[in-house]
Amino acid sequence: MNTQNPQPQDRETSANKAQQRGPLSSRLATDLILQRRQNPVSMVQFMASVWALSQTLPNRRFVLNLHRNRHEFLRSFCASIMAGQCTLMPPNRQPQTLDDLEAAYPDSYRTGEEDAVLAAPYQTADADQGQKIPQIPWQQRCVIAFTSGSTGNPSATIKTWQTLVAATQANCAAMLEDWTGPANVLATVPAQHMWGLETSVLMPLFANLAISEANPLYPQDIVSALCDMPEPRMLVSSPLHLRTLMSSALPLPKLARIFTATAPLSQSLAVEFEAYYQAPVLDVFGSSESGIIAVRNTAREELWRLSAPFHMQVVEQKTRVSAAHLAGPVMLADKVELVGTHQFRWLARENDQVNVAGKKTSLADLNRRLLAIEGVRDGLIFMPAESSQRLAAVIVAPGLVAADIRQALLRAVDPVFIPRPIVFVAALPRNETGKLPLKAVQAILTARKAKDERQDQ
């Protein structure tokens, strides 16, 4: 007979629930969590520096963590969570976007905008303090991710510590599969993007991984950062970065595993990647709202394998995803066909959603911003049929030039979504109901191209 008189689960009050806590990390004191130019940082060193930093943070509820260096991002992220702060994840880092976010969250501050190193952390770090792993309230709001919604207003998704930890445990199981040993990871995607946050920030706190502080873009930089880490090495990236690195034909160090997400990867390109990188390439599927939900080895598999905690339903052609750790069901902007309960075939993205270089936004949002520019009377931003992956715009705006449009949009729109070309016309080919047939707009672009080619000859 158990004499410890445990409380039955169902008698738990909501007050108790609010007080429940979980650790900031499950790593051991001697584990390596960071790779800094061949100087590995152990968990005990890292935590000592996080404790120190958390004492110095401004007394605010929200933080815009803009650090590009992953070591500084991770340290600030952990310290702000310990201080009870919530990290705001802007959809891009354009000035207007950051200003708008600060206006909406006045009790916030920015860190890492100038890429300053916060202090030389590891000489003065107090090793005793570094042994302690803080307990974070499960219900604490730790991250708010923003995406540009089709209504034009960014939609916010709140992630509690419980959500982030449950998601990370599921991601480790789905992505690392049978890999149990240590590994060193380099990510080419920013930590401020959910894909980067889940893999390069949260996974090292709960799996046996050390993350490189580097945030490389160019092929030569990726190769150098990989070479700076000992084996076994893993790479977190996107199809765009992997394709550029492959085209550079630079000699690569040995890789154990590659993860890619953010944009569709064709089977033929996945096969090419595996041949070039000599490593399994795992394609990862998710959204800012749901986090990572499925994986597949695109070179060999057609169907996506849904990660264990998730359930997927197709309701009136819309895709709904739910999981115990999410605040509620999430509607995806993707059309899918379910195969059994835990696999699906991807069919298409919804029309309003565009993906340029792995970044996603809503055409409705872009067009709302275009029409708000002073001097623009009418116009449309759209994805051309013979798409070079770039958006195009046809605009009625007497007196304005392309540079005016670019400059106005750039205040709040990520540079990859700036249309190219921008074509000015006297009027748009609207039909009698005022609608704008995409074919007619496309024809303007085609005619313009033909004219340019004639002039060039």
Three-state DSSP class for residue 157: strand
Cα 125 from Cα 47, distance rounded (Å): 9
Q: Which is nearer to other proteins, 130 or 379 (CB)?
A: 379
Cα separations in angstroms, 283 against 161, 273, 321:
26, 11, 19
CB of 218 to other proteins, least distance (A): 5
Alpha helices per DSSP H over 249-333: 267-277
> Within 10 Å of residue 411's Cβ, how many Cβ atoms?
14
CB 64 within 8 A of CB 110: yes
Q: Which is nearer to other proteins, 160 or 361 (CB)?
A: 361
Place of tokens 């891009």: 92
Q: Which is nearer to other proteins, 159 or 193 (CB)?
A: 193
Alpha helices per DSSP H over 186-248: 194-196, 203-206, 219-227, 239-248
CB of 369 to other proteins, least distance (A): 16
Alpha helices per DSSP H over 20-133: 43-54, 70-82, 95-104, 127-130
Residue 97 makes CB contacts below 8 A (sequence gap 6+) with: 90, 91, 412
- Which tokens belong to 435? 């609608």
Q: Which residues, in sequence order, are bridge partners of residue 220?
A: none
CB of 433 to other proteins, least distance (A): 32
CB 216 within 8 A of CB 188: yes
CB 399 within 8 A of CB 450: no
Cα 200 from Cα 191, distance rounded (Å): 7
CB of 83 to other proteins, least distance (A): 26
Closest CA to 174 of 144, 209, 193, 199: 199
Closest CA to 336 of 326, 325, 350, 323: 350
Closest CA to 351 of 363, 341, 369: 363
Q: Which is nearer to other proteins, 270 or 392 (CB)?
A: 392
Cα 55 from Cα 121, distance rounded (Å): 13
Q: Which is nearer to other proteins, 292 or 356 (CB)?
A: 356
CB of 39 to other proteins, least distance (A): 16
Q: Which is nearer to other proteins, 68 or 320 (CB)?
A: 68
Q: Which is nearer to other proteins, 189 or 363 (CB)?
A: 189
Q: Which is nearer to other proteins, 13 or 457 (CB)?
A: 457
CB of 68 to other proteins, least distance (A): 5
Q: Which is nearer to other proteins, 266 or 389 (CB)?
A: 389
CB of 421 to other proteins, least distance (A): 4
CB of 357 to other proteins, least distance (A): 5
Q: Which is nearer to other proteins, 156 or 263 (CB)?
A: 263
Q: Residues interacting with other proteins, by CB under 8 A?
A: 68-69, 115, 190, 215-221, 224, 240-241, 244, 247-248, 250, 356-357, 388-389, 402-403, 406-407, 410, 414-416, 418, 420-422, 449, 452
- Total H helices, total E strands in the chain: 14, 26
Cα 208 from Cα 306, distance rounded (Å): 23
Cα 186 from Cα 426, distance rounded (Å): 50
CB of 338 to other proteins, least distance (A): 34
Q: Which is nearer to other proteins, 48 or 186 (CB)?
A: 186
CB of 191 to other proteins, least distance (A): 11
3-state helix, strand, coil in the chain (%, to 5): 30, 25, 40
CA 150 to chain centre: 19
CB of 402 to other proteins, least distance (A): 6
